Amino acid sequence: MDYYKIGKVEAIALILILMLNRLILTLPKNMYLLTGNSILINAVWVIFLMFLFVFLLIKISKKFVGQDLIDIAEFVGGKFLKVIISTAYIVFFVSISGIILRDFVEGIKILYYSQIPTWLLASLILVIPVVANLHGGNSVIKFNSIIVFITLISLLVILISSTTTYVPQKFFPILGNGINETFFEGATNIYAFSGFCFLFFVMPLLKSSKDFKKIGIISTIIGSIYLFFTLASLLFSFSSLVSVYEISPIYLIMRSTDFGIFFQRPDAIFVFTWILTLMSYLSVVIMFTSIIFKKITNIKTTKYLPYILVSLILIICLIPSNLAQIKTLEDTYYRYFNVVLVFIISPIILVIANFKKRKSMEGAKIEKNL
Amino acid sequence: MKKIYKKYFILFIILTLICFNLSGCYNINNIDKLAYVIAIGLDVGESNILKLSFQISALGNSSGGDGPQSDNPIVNTVECSSIDSGISIINSYLSAEINLSHCKAIVISEEFASKPISKYIYTLLNNIQVRPDTNIIITKCDVATFFEHSKPELESMAAKYYETVPTSSDYTAYTQDIKLNDFFSALNSTYENPIAILGGVNNNASNSTNNSSDTPNFEKDNSSTSGNSNIDSSGHIETIGLAVFKEDVLVGELTALETLCHLITIGKIDRCNINIPSPFIEGETVTLSLKQKHSPKITAEFINDSPYIRVEPSFEARLLTVNENETELDAESLKQLEDYATSYLNSQISNYLYKTSRTFKSDIDGFGKYFLKNFVFWNDWISFDWNSNFENTFFKVDTNVNVISSLLLMQS
């Protein structure tokens, strides 16, 4: 697979794609169910933590220009750590994609395609990522940039139109389900930013490594704004119905929002854009997984990897036997695996790498002085 | 050579896809195989729990620009144990499959709504075909009679009629455009209770209970409700007033004036007319056109552990009733009119609020949300149990009416 060097916009789109997929699906609902009415305070807390994380990442990455997490892991712990981290990320990407795909397919099955079997719908969606990846990384990245832009616009339309139904008093009771749920356990809601794990891998693809700082900050700002306003819409408009509805809260907001007499049932347009978003996300995941796999195996070509990865995603997608299992997986496995891998283990590796680099630089300096 | 094969293969795929897309959808549902329901009716059954009625659009000639529908929709009724079993039974009877995606109204009889109806509301909203913007109507007569008389006078399509009738609230304020989603939200809410549109079949005005000689003339207009209005056009459905629920059980109804007070309280009055006793001539009535300046200011607090709510609505008004024999509209007479209107509205809104609180014990105005700020944790709020405490609430209404003038004429 060939990759060309990407600019700022393309990199930001790559980082935002997973988060947008999660916002469209059940992420806001899961966050709300944990914290209750204190969801906005929790969002501010989580955004604050996310900015700390991004600034730390930017600071550490300055010493590892042009290297991704896998290279840094190799620098810290040799081939062993490189393989461990790579495998963890491959498992993470493939399993999460399978769960997200199943969640989405079940949603559109309820809405439009109740007669079509799950495996067929999932397979049809997976065709596009395979084709996109066979055409190379360039097509994946360019397609993703367009789709992210469309999704951001569609979400913005929904969020703005829902403001007419806002009940601001729902901001109270201010601490919702409790202090622990808002701040301590609530900190695990940082998994909303799980898409930012692509920040670890985007550095070698950049045209200019100086852009990394801007990319990190801009994508965090955009992600934070969308997260905050999605949660605000959910809280102020439909919080009493969140636990009742099975379906995506954003779809619920859209279905209940009045777009005037001319646009009576615009949900199909939005669902169509969301299908494209999912396809784009799967394409990006397969692309990054192929890059990681290539690094640990040293294979000559990744041409046939998309077939294998897509098959794995399809198998994982079909494992849960009902929606309750998917929800449990999302709220336990996805939340904690994500937090541990992306927000704990990976930064620890970066910090250790930073110390090791500093030590080796100091050693080299001493040698030079001697 | 290989490239040519590849091109042929891609061409084959494209042609196959086009063939599948353009060929007749013989095994897919289409308009001929579907029976589009305009309204669903839920009533008390005689031999079973539920009497389910469907008002179905009769597909006919589409010429004339009114769409493929005749003036007389078909009504089918079935006695069943649940909505879904009723649909299955009707499907086996009809030559087409019931489709609810164009359903405009859910009509529930007063008798049926007097028992818990939440499971039916949940079932309807669980159905992907039922739109959340479907109106919910509680009828004072039985559903069969309601459907039988739902023949619009100005519309040729019953579906459009159901769609436009609740919008009269924009200029009359005698009803409210309540949708299934609003009802469901209130049903699941911890700080408000649901309401529905009150419907009924118009009895001849001469039979109206409002026509007692003791009742002042302006009160006769204000106390109208569906099925009990002063409209002299028997045999048609009307939607005046609101049906009040305590959780999922019907507990009462609001008259036209009380509905107006409700809309004032929640700040959803666009424009409306109100009749008040004339301050200038005893026994006469004056009509004011009201425009709510903004949503009323609502202050909620606890005084001696009892909820206390202060409602401060504010209006701009114009005088509609003019009389050649009366005084000029100078500053003094306008002030007098303002005082009368203020006093009248204060008294009516206060009566309405105490009726919902003391008689119905149902917070249909969502006052509970103003008390949320007094609680730190959600569990504290739930333990407080607003629905049980609402009946202890005290109200103070402080209306501000600013009469600007009449319309074109200066006299009143």
Contact residues on chain B for A167, CB-CB shorter than 8 A: 366, 369
CB contact under 8 A, B372 and A258: no
Checking if the pLDDT of B407 tops 80, the result is: no
| Domain final residue, candidates B225, B254, B283 | B254
Q: pLDDT per residue over B229-264, tens digit each?
A: 666 666 678 888 999 999 999 999 999 889 999 999
CB contact under 8 A, A170 and B369: yes
- What one-letter code names the amino acid at B293? K
Beta-carbon contacts of residue B171 (< 8 Å; ≥ 6 apart) = B270, B271, B272
Q: Round the average pLDDT of chain B to a whole number and report it.
A: 82
In a domain, B278, yes or no: yes
Say how far apart CA A281 and CA A230 lie, in whole Å. 20
For B409, the domain range is 266-412
**Domains, chain A, ordered by start:** 8-355 (1.20.1740.10)
Peptide bond into A173 cis (omega under 30): yes
The answer, yes or no, to whether ipTM is higher than 0.90 is: no
Contact residues on chain A for B181, CB-CB shorter than 8 A: 256
What pLDDT does B39 receive? 92
Using DSSP, state whether B395 is helix, strand or coil.
strand
Say how far apart CA B253 and CA B243 lie, in whole Å. 4
Q: Are residues B220 and B97 in the same domain?
A: yes
CA distance from start to end of chain A: 47
DSSP symbols for B215-256: S-HHHHHHT--TTS-S---TTSEEEEEEEEEETTEEEEEE-H
Contact residues on chain A for B381, CB-CB shorter than 8 A: 173
Consecutive H or E run containing B195: strand B195-201
Distance from the A42 Cα atom to the nearest Cα atom in chain B, whole angstroms: 14
In a domain, B361, yes or no: yes
Q: pLDDT per residue over A77-125, tens digit each?
A: 889 999 999 999 999 999 999 999 998 998 888 888 887 889 888 998 9
| Average pLDDT of span B118-138 | 90
Task: Find residue B54's DSSP bridge partners.
Answer: B40, B76
Contact residues on chain A for B185, CB-CB shorter than 8 A: 238, 240-241
Helix, strand, coil distribution of chain B in percent, nearest 5: 35, 30, 35
Say how far apart CA A212 and CA A218 lie, in whole Å. 10
In a domain, B10, yes or no: no
- What one-letter code names the amino acid at B396? K
DSSP designation for B203: P
Select from A167, A174, A255 the Cβ nearest to the Cβ of B376.
Answer: A174
Say how far apart CA A10 and CA A219 lie, in whole Å. 11
Q: Are residues B346 and B394 in the same domain?
A: yes
Q: What is the CATH number of the domain that holds B380?
A: 3.30.300.210
Q: Are residues B340 and B219 in the same domain?
A: no
Q: Are residues B243 and B282 in the same domain?
A: no
Say how far apart CA A95 and CA B59 lie, in whole Å. 50
Q: pLDDT per residue over B299-323, tens digit each?
A: 999 998 899 999 999 988 888 876 6
In a domain, B93, yes or no: yes
What pLDDT does B147 receive? 87
Q: Are residues B328 and B233 in the same domain?
A: no
Higher pLDDT, A245 or A204: A204
Q: Are residues B249 and B272 in the same domain?
A: no
Q: Round the average pLDDT of chain A to a whole number and report it.
A: 87
Distance from the A257 Cα atom to the nearest Cα atom in chain B, whole angstroms: 9
Q: pLDDT per residue over B351-400, tens digit each?
A: 999 999 999 999 999 999 999 999 999 999 999 999 999 999 999 999 99
Select from B132, B185, B379 the Cβ nearest to the Cβ of A255.
Answer: B132
Distance from the A256 Cα atom to the nearest Cα atom in chain B, whole angstroms: 6
Q: Are residues B305 and B181 in the same domain?
A: no
Helix A267-297 to helix A249-256 angle (10° resolution) is 160
Q: Are residues B272 and B249 in the same domain?
A: no
CA angle B294, B296, B302 (to 5 degrees): 155
| Domain final residue, candidates B254, B281, B312 | B254
Please state, as a whole number, how many other Cβ atoms lie within 10 Å of the Cβ of residue A238: 25
Q: Are residues B36 and B117 in the same domain?
A: yes
Could you tell me how many CB contacts below 8 A there are between chain A and chain B?
Answer: 49
In a domain, B111, yes or no: yes
Q: A61-76: buried (b, 16+ CB within 10 Å) or exposed (e) per residue?
A: beebeebbbbbbbbbb
DSSP symbols for B37-92: EEEEEEEE-SSSSEEEEEEE------TTTT-S--SS-EEEEEEESSHHHHHHHHHH
Q: pLDDT per residue over A270-320, tens digit each?
A: 888 888 899 999 999 999 999 999 888 878 887 888 999 999 999 999 999
In a domain, B175, yes or no: yes
Residue A176 touches partner B, C-beta closer than 8 Å:
yes
In a domain, B19, yes or no: no
CB B411 within 8 A of CB B329: yes
The B-side interface with A (CB below 8 A) comprises 128, 131-133, 181, 184-185, 188-190, 366, 369-370, 372-373, 375-381
Distance from the A90 Cα atom to the nearest Cα atom in chain B, whole angstroms: 33
Say how far apart CA B201 and CA B221 lie, in whole Å. 18
Q: Are residues B229 and B323 in the same domain?
A: no
The tokens for B112 are: 């049926």
CB B265 within 8 A of CB B255: no
Please state, as a whole number, how many other Cβ atoms lie within 10 Å of the Cβ of residue A322: 9
Q: Are residues B298 and B388 in the same domain?
A: yes
In a domain, B51, yes or no: yes
Number of structural domains (chain B) is 2
